[in-house]
């Protein structure tokens, strides 16, 4: 099958599971996800229960529901539930780890240019506050191979490197990093690892026991399709005494039988709406029901769509992919070229992003990476996407670009 041919996976009914605006061609699941109606209904039911009997729900029922959702997530991640806590998102998880650790002048924090700006900013802030040094590795773009990433990152490790903040799947480049080899090589040198897994759960297979990171934080609202506000933080058992939540609450001095120290600290951050966390299991169950092979089959289907979309964009537009197809998950990014009239100040999205939406109703990110004036377009592939979405994008870009 040519790479630009989209596989027939029997999912025409999937679009009906989401209340997406039919006037919009949604090719940007990667930014904020999209929650299926059945999961939103579950959240609505939980909120109704909470408002009907607030004390009963929050003081007596919530913990059991939280434990069940965490258990389902742990099964998906190949993790021990004792090592998992819920947070609002990956940015919060990275903050919890880096702002809990104590750095000194001379220490180095390693990150890469492929990192998410918000998370790299946490490392930047912590370095400035402590006198440590942030080392940002210039991993090439386009990426040629997993080995190139490993070699480039390891070349910047020094005896002063304390921790490496690395993406499992890069947001700007859509590259799936070789995380397991990187973690193994870094740990052999005594360097701790903090993995930004914002895009990984539900996009690629995640087995935390096999990867073995010191810390791993991920989003459930992206490719697991849970409500926004559902993220998680994994902390290896021998490092849990060092990590604290942003909000110190009752669990600091009230240990509970059967719960880990980190669960005591994170499970009750004060009075919040916990329903996004409680819906994670329902979201996983929904994705598991879409294809006979369950979530692994959906991951493979979406990967094949991303590969086909990358190939279609390259063939029809003459674009340059940012990595080989085997390094893709459910997103693909391609270079359109240089902006002939680049902005003088920072803008989050290149003007083609707004033109595609305003004139064609296509929601797709177009931005500068690794820097102005280089323009990159990134597409996503989720169960509700169909081949016509990508072909429509190609025709629109042909009309608007250049």
Q: What is the pLDDT of residues 31-55, one digit of tens each?
A: 999 999 999 999 999 999 999 999 9
State phi, psi for 151 to the nearest 5 degrees: -65, -40
Residue 78 pLDDT: 98
Residue 326, classed as helix, strand or coil, is helix
pTM of the predicted model as reported, rounded to 2 decimal places: 0.96
Residue 93, classed as helix, strand or coil, is helix
**379-395 confidence digits (pLDDT tens):** 999 999 999 999 999 99
Residue 217 CA, chain-centre distance (Å), reads 9
pLDDT higher than threshold 60 for residue 266:
yes
**308-326 confidence digits (pLDDT tens):** 999 999 999 999 999 999 9
* Distance between CA atoms of residues 396 and 391, nearest Å: 9
Residue 92 pLDDT: 98
Place of tokens 């909470």: 50
pLDDT higher than threshold 90 for residue 157:
yes
Residue 400 pLDDT: 97
State phi, psi for 189 to the nearest 5 degrees: -100, 5
Delimit the domains of the chain by residue range.
14-27+293-400, 40-286
What's the number of CA atoms in the CB half-sphere (13 Å) around residue 363?
Answer: 18
Residue 1: pLDDT band with limits 50, 70, 90? very low
**92-147 confidence digits (pLDDT tens):** 999 999 999 999 999 999 999 999 999 999 999 999 999 999 999 999 999 999 99
CATH fold for the domain made of 14-27+293-400 = 3.90.1150
Same fold, 14-27+293-400 and 40-286: no
* pLDDT over 70 percentage in the chain: 98
Residue 322 pLDDT: 98
CATH number, domain 40-286: 3.40.640.10
Would you state the torsion angle of the CA atoms of residues 120, 264, 273, 286, taken in this order, to the nearest 10 degrees?
80
**323-364 confidence digits (pLDDT tens):** 999 999 999 999 999 999 999 888 989 999 999 999 999 999
**202-251 confidence digits (pLDDT tens):** 999 999 999 999 999 999 999 999 999 999 999 999 999 999 999 999 99
Rounded to 5 degrees, what angle do the CA atoms 230, 233, 238 make? 160
Residue 7, classed as helix, strand or coil, is coil
Residue 7 pLDDT: 79
pLDDT higher than threshold 70 for residue 148:
yes
Average pLDDT along the chain = 96
């Amino acid at each position: 099958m040519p790479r630009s041919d989209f596989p027939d996976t029997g999912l025409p009914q999937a679009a009906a599971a989401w209340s997406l605006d039919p006037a919009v061609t949604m090719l940007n699941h990667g930014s904020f996800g999209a929650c299926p109606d059945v999961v939103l209904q579950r959240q609505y039911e939980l909120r109704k229960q909470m408002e009907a009997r607030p004390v009963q729900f929050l003081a007596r029922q919530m913990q059991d529901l939280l434990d069940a959702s965490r258990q389902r997530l742990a099964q998906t991640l190949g993790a021990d539930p004792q090592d998992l806590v819920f947070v609002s998102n990956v940015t919060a998880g990275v903050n919890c780890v880096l702002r809990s650790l104590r750095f000194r002048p001379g220490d180095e924090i390693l990150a890469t240019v492929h990192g998410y700006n918000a998370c790299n900013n946490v490392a930047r802030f912590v370095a400035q506050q402590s006198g440590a040094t942030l080392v940002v590795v210039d991993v090439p773009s386009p990426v040629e191979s997993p080995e190139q990433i490993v070699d480039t990152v390891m070349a910047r490790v020094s005896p002063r490197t304390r921790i490496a903040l690395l993406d499992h799947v890069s947001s700007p480049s859509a590259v799936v990093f070789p995380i397991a080899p990187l973690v193994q090589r870094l740990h052999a040198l005594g360097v701790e690892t903090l993995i930004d897994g914002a895009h990984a759960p539900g996009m690629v297979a995640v087995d935390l026991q096999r990867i073995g990171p010191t810390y791993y934080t991920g989003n459930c609202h992206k490719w697991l399709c849970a409500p926004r506000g559902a993220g998680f933080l994994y902390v290896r058992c021998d490092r849990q005494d060092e990590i604290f939540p942003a909000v110190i609450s009752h669990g600091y001095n009230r240990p509970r039988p059967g719960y880990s120290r980190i669960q005591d600290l994170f499970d009750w951050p004060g009075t919040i709406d916990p329903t996004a966390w409680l819906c994670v299991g329902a979201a996983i169950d929904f994705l598991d029901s879409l294809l006979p092979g369950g979530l692994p089959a959906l991951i493979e289907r979406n990967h094949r769509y991303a590969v086909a979309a990358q190939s279609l964009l390259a063939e029809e537009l003459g674009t340059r992919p940012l990595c080989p197809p085997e390094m893709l998950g459910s997103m693909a990014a391609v270079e359109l070229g240089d902006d002939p009239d680049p902005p003088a100040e920072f803008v989050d999205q290149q003007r083609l992003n707004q033109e595609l939406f305003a004139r064609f109703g296509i929601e797709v990110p177009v931005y500068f990476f690794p820097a102005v004036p280089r323009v990159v377009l990134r597409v996503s592939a989720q169960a509700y996407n169909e081949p016509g979405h990508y072909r429509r994008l190609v025709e629109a870009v042909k009309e608007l670009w250049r």
